[in-house]
Amino acid sequence: MMFNWLQKLGSRVLLRLSSLGAALVMLLQSLLVLPGPRGWQRLTQQLYVVGVQSFIIIFVSAGFIGMVLGLQGYTLLVDYGSEQAVGQMVALTLVRELAPVVAALLFAGRAGSALTAELGLMKATEQLASLEMFGVDPLHRIVAPRFIAGLISLPILVIIFNLVGVYGGHLVAVEWLGVHSGAYWGNMQAAVDFSDDVMNGLIKALVFATLVTWTALYQGYTCVPTSQGISEATTRTVVYSSLMILGFDFILTALMFGGL
């Protein structure tokens, strides 16, 4: 009984490790080649699909999250007469934590799931096999531009998230609740450090972008090419990405801000 349990655990761990290895090999094989003459064109196309098409969801979410932060911050701080500090609270919360994490979670749901489904469907409709038969490596042609597009898009989306969120907080705290505009911006400027806060947030964004895009592409590339297989792979992309984003966020926060 005990041995069976141990055996099962062992085989699961081995399976996970071997798929992690396979995912790493896939990534290296797709990236360790110089892009072809039309590489830029393919990258631009993917930047549009992965990045630009995720803009609306990021913009709207950032607006609402900034507004909620402004409102919550104001109600909390007004009791102590320090509602002027709401600007600094909104900005620090956004640039250090909420912008990279929420943008990455939305990115996993919007772009990650789409990438997995697209690759899975390409596999099911034999497009990947057909590329191979034309002597074109699908890892270079399909996987590489999508991965790089993800890596470029998410940090830019996080910058947009930061800007829109800060303006969302300004709308509620300053325009509606009457916090002094100069105090909102002034406290923010004094409290937010570019390299400690903004850059650390962007490093988080880059790590999350790698995790989400890599997971999405690996799941799509290796899925069972049936409707059920694609649906399971898409679900796995969103679940694994979300858990990794939250787990890695804690580790990165501890390293960057926790004094570890």
Residues near another protein, by CB under 8 A? 122, 125-127, 129-130, 132-136
Beta carbon of residue 237, minimum distance to another protein (angstroms, whole number): 20
Nearest to another protein of 81, 135 (CB atom): 135
Nearest to another protein of 97, 132 (CB atom): 132
Nearest to another protein of 88, 234 (CB atom): 234
Nearest to another protein of 186, 229 (CB atom): 229
| 142-161 CB burial, b ≥16 within 10 A, e <16 | bbbbbbbbbbbbbbbbbbbb
Beta carbon of residue 10, minimum distance to another protein (angstroms, whole number): 20
Beta carbon of residue 48, minimum distance to another protein (angstroms, whole number): 12
Query: Are the CB atoms for 183 and 87 separated by under 8 Å?
Result: yes
Q: How far apart are CA 62 and CA 44, in angstroms?
A: 25
Structure-block tokens of residue 159: 């910058």
Nearest to another protein of 1, 34 (CB atom): 34
Structure-block tokens of residue 228: 């059920």
Cα–Cα distance list, 123 to 45, 174, 222 (Å): 20, 52, 9
Nearest to another protein of 19, 181 (CB atom): 19
Beta carbon of residue 125, minimum distance to another protein (angstroms, whole number): 5
**Residue 243: is it exposed, middle or buried by C-beta count within 10 angstroms (0-12/13-18/19+)?**
exposed
Beta carbon of residue 135, minimum distance to another protein (angstroms, whole number): 4
Beta carbon of residue 130, minimum distance to another protein (angstroms, whole number): 4
Nearest to another protein of 42, 96 (CB atom): 42
Beta carbon of residue 224, minimum distance to another protein (angstroms, whole number): 11
